[in-house]
Amino acid sequence: MEDPNKPVTGYPPGYHQGQSSYNSNGYPPAQSSYSAASTATGTSYPYTAPLPAAYYNTNPYYTPPYDQRRTTFFRRFIAAIIAVFLIIGAITFIVWLVLHPHVPEFRVDSVSVSSLNINNSQVTGNWDVGFTVRNPNKKMSVHYDNMFSTLFYRRQSLSDTSLPPLSQGKKNETTVRARFAASSGYIGDAASALASDRSSGSVSFNVNIGAWVWFKAGAWRTRRHLLRVFCEDLKVGFSSNTQTGVLSGGPKNCEVDL
């Protein structure tokens, strides 16, 4: 006798079991577009899936190539500028060699001192210095601007003054006067030395001149140069402790630095 609690298996009577439309793995069979053709011809072809689309990765750091024409233009432009400067420099150098400018010549012709008074560490007096300025160039004129002059006793400055602008033609000589004045100027320990030299009958002064100078030949001119003139050891004679003195020993040439 069968166990009434045993589970019932199978299908009830009268139930028609059809063919399952699912595979044993639980998924419906694959449908092929070639099934009809395969049935008709008795052959079949494998299905080939299309290739995936190509993947393009746009590089955010991509730099387009340089414009070759622009690069060529800038190279030629820079080369032209360099060539122009080289040509101008060569022309200037050749003209300088051909004209060969000479520095001006300065000479002190006279020095007069008046009202020289030395009191403690102060000095008072007037100086009048006469120069001859010569342009030795045969082909170029010389032009001076912002001229100034300083009077020294030893290394101590006594006074300074400005001089008017000056233009000199070829092989020209011009007289220039520089007038200095000191009014109770403090010169420290130099005052006792100056008094001692005047008592001995001779005092040496120094005069410096500075100016901006340029040379010109026709339409061509040089750039401005700083001219410095040093007129040293100008001996002025005094007699019997007087307050006046004059240059002794005749004219004296100055050193010129350009």
Name the pTM for this structure: 0.63
Averaged pLDDT for residues 79-106? 82
SS3 annotation, the chain:
CCCCCCCCCCCCCCCCCCCCCCCCCCCCCCCCCCHHHHHHHCCCCCCCCCCCCCCCCCCCCCCCCCCHHHHHHHHHHHHHHHHHHHHHHHHHHHHHHHHCCCCCEEEEEEEEEEEEEEECCEEEEEEEEEEEEECCCCCCEEEEEEEEEEEEECCEEEEEEEECCEEECCCCEEEEEEEEEEEEEECCCHHHHHHHHHHHCEEEEEEEEEEEEEEEECCEECCCEEEEEEEEEEEEEECCCCCCEEECCCCEECEEEC
Domain ranges of the chain: 67-99, 105-257
pLDDT tens digits along 6-54: 555 555 555 455 554 445 555 555 554 444 444 444 555 555 666 665 5
Average pLDDT, the chain: 82
What confidence tens digit (pLDDT) does each residue in 170-179 have? 999 999 999 9
State in words which class domain 105-257 has. Answer: mainly beta
Check residues 250 and 94 and name the one with the higher pLDDT: 250
User: How does pLDDT run across 102-159, given as a tens digit for each residue?
Assistant: 999 999 999 999 999 999 899 999 999 999 999 999 989 999 999 999 999 999 999 9
